Amino acid sequence: EYVLHFSSGKPLKSLPDLLREYNLPPGLFPQNITCYEFDDATAKLVVHLPAACELSFKDSSVIRYSTRVKAIVAKGKLNGIEGMKTKFLVWVKVSNVAVEGYKSDKVWFTAAGVKKSRPRIQYDTPQAAVRVQEF
């Protein structure tokens, strides 16, 4: 896993560690990322994956990832997400992911204007994703 820190040019911590620092579940992204970039000044996160892929969780939710996912990171939130979809009845683009407070047991996904909660425990551990034909 290769990472780059834009402010210093130094290697970064693992993506799960970065997510934890922002009170986000470390398993929001698959284990098999190629690398990620994080800019301290703008809080812009770019996660690179080897192929479009998806993760299925124990609560029957599914998240699909493009080869590049972009977001702005804030405490407990990923805002302005590009490159992530979830299935409500059809595949819809995820625009925001939020955790309300350190002790919250839910992760809130906003997609197509609909906000839906899922159990945070589902996202506590990064998992291996399954390759898909298209994002």
> Is domain 2-131 annotated with CATH 2.30.240?
yes
How far apart CA 39 and CA 3 sit, in angstroms, is 11
- Does 2 score more than 80 pLDDT? no
Which neighbouring-strand residues pair with 4?
37
- Domain extents for the chain? 2-131
Pick 79 or 133 by higher pLDDT: 79
Whole-prediction pTM value? 0.84
